[in-house]
Structure 1
Amino acid sequence: MEIIPSTTQQLIAKHKLNIGTFLFYTNIVVGEFDEGVHVTKENAIEPIYLCQKIYGDYKPIIYISHRLNSYSADTMGYKEVIEMFPNFKGFAIVSNNKYRRMLVTLEKLFIAKPIGVFDNIDSAFSWAEKVLEKGS
């Protein structure tokens, strides 16, 4: 996975982990989970640790879920994971699949931050930069 956003975001690091690939930009993390993975708080510890290591507790960040593959997630752990990031400012979902985009309705119940839904990654990056500018 290589993404070159048409924004000011610069790629800082790229990590291929057991559950997927994560790209760390200036203020944006793009996660692409592998096909068939069931994401839980427990198996997401490694990317969570990387986020904390790279961004600390103060640098504002947006998470973009790049949903190219089919996978499942334990939504019950969302709130706890988000509480680990006082600097988390928003969440974007990118998918060409309308059913995957519809899952946002459920995810909004667990994420009390701005959420954007997009069918392409450039739109998600543009939205994320606007959210970061507002300081939400």
Structure 2
Amino acid sequence: MIKRLFYDFGEINVFRNFVIAIMNEGTTVRPEHNDDLVEVANTYFFNRPFGYITYRKNSYAVDPMVYLKTSEIKNLVAFAVVADDEQKLRNSKIEKLFLKKPLEIFSNLDEAKDWVNNLIENNDF
């Protein structure tokens, strides 16, 4: 891990090719939270592709408008959701409709990391 960043909504762990976000229990992720993700993208992944992995350990809500803003991050090439709960999986399928980036849903973190790394290695960013 390169860096662990803490925010009022949760934490973002920065790795070489991706970030892993863990949201706080009960939070609502809103479009303005994308400002923090844009800052992370510009600071740690300037002019190179990266992936975003949301590790859904906790229960929280997501405003679908978040994904419209997230789709505007040019060097974001992959979005992975890791969830083991049926409700979280159903929510992810709905959220997928709003994101204009490759999004896959996984039941474990290692599979998500492998998928993101594979997309980045084969990306013509």
TM-score by length of 2: 0.90
Structure 1 residue 91, shift from structure 2 partner: 0.6
Task: Please state if 1:69 is matched with 2:65.
Answer: no
Partner of 1:7: none
Partner of 2:38: 48
CA contact (8 A) 1:90 1:128 kept: yes
Q: Which runs of 5+ in 1 are unaligned?
A: 1-10
2:23 counterpart (9, 33, 47): 33
CA contact (8 A) 2:71 2:100 kept: no
CA contact (8 A) 2:21 2:55 kept: yes
Amino acid at match of 1:88: L
Helix, strand or coil: the match of 1:42? Answer: helix
Structure 2: distance between partners of 1:86 and 1:118: 23
CA contact (8 A) 2:57 2:83 kept: yes
Structure 1 residue 109, shift from structure 2 partner: 1.4
Task: State the number of aligned residues.
Answer: 124
Structure 2: distance between partners of 1:47 and 1:72: 17
Helix, strand or coil: the match of 2:114? Answer: helix
CA contact (8 A) 1:27 1:59 kept: no
Identity %: 28
CA contact (8 A) 2:70 2:99 kept: no
Structure 2: distance between partners of 1:82 and 1:24: 19
Structure 2: distance between partners of 1:109 and 1:62: 18
CA RMSD of aligned residues (A): 1.5
Helix, strand or coil: the match of 2:97? Answer: coil
Matches within 5 A, 1:1-20: 11-20=1-10
Structure 1 residue 44, shift from structure 2 partner: 4.0
Matches within 5 A, 1:91-110: 91-110=79-98
1:119 counterpart (107, 114, 124): 107
